[in-house]
Amino acid sequence: MTKGNSTKITDDLYAYVLAHNPPLDAVQRGLVVTTREKFPESAGMQSAEEQGPLLAFLVRLTGARHIVEVGTFTGFSALSMAQALPQGGRLIACDVSREWTDYGREAWEAAGVADRIDLRIAPALETLRAMPTEPHVDMAYVDADKESQILYWEELVPRLRPGGLIVTDNTLFHGSVLDTSPGSRGASVHAFNEHAAADTRMESVLLGISDGLTLSRKR
Q: How confident is the model over 150-166, as pLDDT tens digits?
A: 999 999 999 999 999 99
Domains in the chain, start-ordered, CATH in brackets? Answer: 11-218 (3.40.50.150)
Distance CA 19, CA 162 (A): 35
Distance CA 155, CA 175 (A): 27
Contact 201, 218 (CB under 8 A): yes
User: Does residue 5 surpass a pLDDT of 70?
Assistant: no
6-29: pLDDT as tens digits: 788 999 999 999 999 999 999 999
**What one-character-per-residue DSSP string does 30-93 give?**
HHHHHHHHH-TTTGGGSPPTTHHHHHHHHHHHHT-SEEEEE--TTSHHHHHHHHHSPTT-EEEE
Q: Determine what percent of the chain falls in helix, strand and coil, rounding each to the nearest 5.
A: 45, 20, 35
